[in-house]
Amino acid sequence: MNWTPKSMKSQLGKSFLVTGANTGLGFETALELAKHDAYVIMVGRNQEKLNQAKEKILESVPDASIEIGVLDLTNIKSVKSFADEFVKTHASLDVLINNAGIMFPPAGKTADGFETQFGVNFIGHYVLNALLFPLLKNNENARIVTLSSIAHKGAEIDYENLKLEKPFNKFREYGQSKVADLIFALELQRKISENNLDILSVACHPGVSKTELLRYDVPEMIETVDYMNANQGAFPTLFAATEELEAISGSNNSFYFGPDGKNEINGYPAPAFIEPYADNELVGNKLWEYAEKETGVKFNFES
Could you list the active site residues?
A: 174
CB atoms within 10 A of CB 139: 17
Phi, psi of 11 (to 5 degrees): -105, 25
Contacting residue, 8, 42, 97, 102, with ligand NAP by CB under 6 A:
102
128 sits near ligand NAP (criterion: CB under 6 A) = no
284 sits near ligand NAP (criterion: CB under 6 A) = no
User: In the complex, what is the shortest distance from the CB of residue 12 to ligand NAP, in angstroms, rounded to a whole number?
Assistant: 26
For ligand NAP, give the closer residue by CB, 169 or 300.
169
For ligand NAP, give the closer residue by CB, 149 or 201.
149
Task: From 45, 164, 165, 40, select the one nearest 100 (Cα to Cα).
Answer: 45
For 150, residues 6+ apart whose C-beta sits below 8 A from its C-beta are: 205, 207, 208, 258, 263, 264, 265
Question: Which range in 2-10, 66-74, 188-196, 292-300 contacts ligand NAP by CB under 6 A?
Answer: 66-74
User: In the complex, what is the shortest distance from the CB of residue 242 to ligand NAP, in angstroms, rounded to a whole number?
Assistant: 18
User: In the complex, what is the shortest distance from the CB of residue 101 to ligand NAP, in angstroms, rounded to a whole number?
Assistant: 2
69 sits near ligand NAP (criterion: CB under 6 A) = no
Measured on CA atoms in the order 82, 237, 240, 99, is the torsion positive or negative?
negative
Contacts with ligand NAP in 215-244 (CB under 6 A)?
A: 233
Contacting residue, 8, 15, 16, 23, with ligand NAP by CB under 6 A:
23
User: In the complex, what is the shortest distance from the CB of residue 58 to ligand NAP, in angstroms, rounded to a whole number?
Assistant: 18
User: In the complex, what is the shortest distance from the CB of residue 99 to ligand NAP, in angstroms, rounded to a whole number?
Assistant: 5
Q: Report the largest interatomic distance among the alpha carbons of the chain, rounded to a whole angstrom.
A: 50
For ligand NAP, give the closer residue by CB, 114 or 299.
114
Residue 192's Cβ-side half-sphere holds a number of Cα atoms within 13 Å equal to: 23
DSSP annotation of 209 reads: B
Contacts with ligand NAP in 137-156 (CB under 6 A)?
A: 147, 149
> What is the rounded distance in angstroms from the CA atom of residue 155 to the CA atom of residue 41?
32
Are residues 163 and 117 in contact, defined by beta-carbon separation less than 8 angstroms? no
Q: What is the 3-state secondary structure (H, E, C) of 55-69?
A: HHHHHHCCCCEEEEE
For 88, 118, 205, the CA distances from 213, given in Å and listed in that order, are 33, 15, 14
44 sits near ligand NAP (criterion: CB under 6 A) = yes
Summarize as ranges the residues that interact with ligand NAP (CB under 6 A).
19-20, 22-26, 44-46, 49, 72-74, 99-103, 120-121, 147, 149, 205-206, 208-209, 211-213, 233
